[in-house]
Amino acid sequence: MDFKKIYLSVKSQMVKLWQWFKPYWQKFRKWFKHVWKKFHLTKVILLLTLTVTLVMTVYLFYLAKTANIDTLKTGLEQVTTIYDDKNEEAGTLAVYGAKGSFVKKDQISPYIIDALISTEDRRFYTHKGYDIKGIARAAVRRVVRGNNSGGGGSTITQQLAKNAKLSQEQTLTRKAKELFLAIEIEKEYSKDEILEMYLNKSYFGSGVWGVEDASKKYFGKSAKDVTLDEAAVLVGILKGPSIYNPIDNMDNAIARRDTVLSVMVDNEKLDEKTAEDLMKQPLYLNDTYQPDHDSYRYPYYFDKVIDEAVRVTKLKDDDISNGGYKIYTSLNQQYQQGIDATFSNDSFFPPNASDGAMVQGASIALDPKTGGVKGIVGGRDYQYRGLNRVTDSKLPPGSTMKPISVYTPALEAGYKPEDILQDKALDYYDVQNYSRTYSDQVPMYEAVAQSLNAPAVWLMHEIGIDRGYKKTEQFGISLDEKDRYYGLALGGLTKGTTPLSMASAYSVFANEGVRKDPHFITKIEDPTGVIIYENQKAKSKRVTTPDVAEEMTSMLQSVFSSGTGVTAKPEGYTIAGKTGTTENVSVDGMSKDQWMIGYTPDIVIATWIGFDKSGPDHFLTGSSGSNLAGIFKDESQRILAASPNTPFTVKDASQPEESEDDTLGNQINGLGDKVKEGANSFGEKVKEGVGVLEDGIRQGIDQAGEIWSSLFGN
């Protein structure tokens, strides 16, 4: 192939193309120059550039001024602490936060300080938070190499700003924020304080933050006791914690150590002979680091506290976990420990499925008067900030929906607990009772106690689906338009609901018809004690009347006294509530979800068990009254033993006649005793009265005789 000939041919064609295009190009250039001069585009572009620069500068200045730099050191020194409903410490967020054990500068080896300044920021003690030479050097490196390898020109102060307040993304915007924050940090803190904060905030690999914990992780000693070569290793890790930590990459760690020692020689912090001797030494590791996992004492509860804190304060997760905040909550540690104890007992739960899938569970204890969550367990396989089935899983509620969607609106429409409902097959909706039998007619309270399906659907038909649909939404249950059908009476929701929502809905019955917004947090204070969020009185909404709430409670007591929840009744306590079961469509006669909700005037407990994914191998046998009974009974007894035990003001609707007869009998017996006492007393009074009467008669006769004699003689 003749490349020269091809080249000449291509060149000839390009020349011809240029000759054709040249007049058009010259014409365009002339027009463009005219337009440029006419509209002063140079000035316009310059003005726009200056305006954008000014706006960005003002914006970054505002961010720096509002970043709460004054609380930075306090936040690093303190751990974010969770307090319970008695304002007692319940635990901290330290173990899962990017924070280690905080130590003062005088507790850090000077070898570490020298190694850090030599490798990271030689002019640390002379600059004002930024290093012009370092920035210029990094810029040249980026132009030449096309990346930031070799360092990004950030000072130790800028790195502290990034670690404490910013993300790790490599963008110009983040670098600009970092610069402005660094300037503010330098204004607020001394150089020694900045070094102290940086070394306590930095990540050293292997899951440890801070130089103190890193020293224990790698060398089994405090930061003040590390040797010169160990200090070089620790500082070397900062360049790449996953690459240069000696546990995962010993060779890389030694090579980086030698580089740090060489830089210390260049910076006159170490003589060359000592450095060479240290480079020849092997590296010995000794891991004595013991993280305080017990501080994250109630993991499911603490997870939701972080989620709620992020939502109400707009702070980031890391800021909440590492900012040294004081978070006051509705947590009752006795309730929480009771739920934890029950859920840690595997014998209460059905066996795993044939494919090994675990029967899951979730439970919540809610204060009906305040809406505060007192305790929570979101599953049997906790993972940090993972799935919490109390708040995250959308589950069909089964028959626990009946009091909400059917019986409450029926009572509001004028029905009474003793009214008779139809219990038979219906021609407008295919429904069967759990027993597959019907009794033709049944009192409402009996239909509630035995969780009968047919009467519930019949009653919804009588009051109207729309009435039940609207009332369910008023209880705080989110519905889909597809839920506007008779299946709503049986809990057949398109998207399901959560145990938290169900507990909140049942709090209406325990709180005289009023629902309080459920919440975990009551107050948050920053490290300086300033209140940044407060929710002492949650929002409330009246859902029904106190009378209707009492009537519902009277019927729901019968669930545990004589109905489907009788085996789950906590010994020695009166409780109201409801059971619920949903069918597994893949296995006839078996259930997918089992629910039990119980309450007193002081607490609402909602518990669920089932499989995360339904299927032919994932099913529960029996009903909630059998499978779930042991779990609910155990946890409710633990909780109620620590509760105020405020009695209900209404009696069990399933025992009206017996209750009235007993009362009447007692009244009659009491009346008989009083009659006897009254008769005896009356007899004595009669005797006394007769004597008085005789005396009176005698005196009257004598006086009458005297009057007669004076008028008529003898």
Question: In angstroms, rounded to a whole number, what is the distance separating the alpha carbons of residues 123 and 129?
Answer: 10
Token pair 């309080």 is found at 516
Q: Partners of 423 in the beta sheet?
A: 440
User: Which token pair is 91?
Assistant: 């635990």
Q: Partners of 366 in the beta sheet?
A: 373, 604
User: Within a 10 A sphere around the Cβ of 70, how many other Cβ atoms?
Assistant: 13
DSSP per-residue codes, 181-244: HHHHHHHHS-HHHHHHHHHHHSB-STT-BSHHHHHHHHHSS-GGG--HHHHHHHHHHTT-HHHH
Query: What are the start-end ranges of the H helices in 381-443?
Result: 402, 408-412
Question: In angstroms, rounded to a whole number, what is the distance separating the alpha carbons of residues 388 and 376?
Answer: 9
Q: What is residue 170's three-state secondary structure?
A: coil
- For residue 479, give the DSSP letter: -
Token pair 């009903």 is found at 623
- Which among 215, 295, 321, 399 is annotated as catalytic? 399
Q: Catalytic residue at 120?
A: yes
Q: 5 phi and psi, to 5 degrees?
A: -65, -40
What Cα–Cα distance (Å) separates residue 492 from each residue in 396, 446, 496? 6, 22, 8
Question: In angstroms, rounded to a whole number, what is the distance separating the alpha carbons of residues 681 and 658?
Answer: 34
Q: Catalytic residue at 276?
A: no
- For residue 432, give the DSSP letter: -
Question: How would you classify residue 182: left for phi > 0, otherwise alpha for psi between -120 and 50, otherwise beta?
Answer: alpha
Sign (positive/negative) of CA torsion 491, 500, 602, 335? positive
User: Which token pair is 511?
Assistant: 């709180």
Closest C-alpha to 541, from 577, 578, 504, 503:
504
Strand 360-366 versus strand 373-377 pairing type: antiparallel
What Cα–Cα distance (Å) separates residue 430 from each residue in 454, 486, 678? 9, 10, 64
- Which among 101, 118, 120, 363 is annotated as catalytic? 120
Amino acid letter, residue 245: N
Contacts of 552 (CB under 8 A, 6+ apart): 403, 407, 408, 411, 509
Sign (positive/negative) of CA torsion 157, 158, 160, 165? positive
Question: In angstroms, rounded to a whole number, what is the distance separating the alpha carbons of residues 375 and 273?
Answer: 63
Helix axes 110-120, 250-266, angle to 10 degrees: 80
Question: In angstroms, rounded to a whole number, what is the distance separating the alpha carbons of residues 422 and 431?
Answer: 13
CB 488 within 8 A of CB 433: no
Q: What is residue 147's three-state secondary structure?
A: coil
710 burial level (CB within 10 Å; 0-12, 13-18, 19+): exposed
Question: In angstroms, rounded to a whole number, what is the distance separating the alpha carbons of residues 302 and 294?
Answer: 12
Amino acid letter, residue 647: P
Catalytic residues, which ones?
Answer: 120, 399
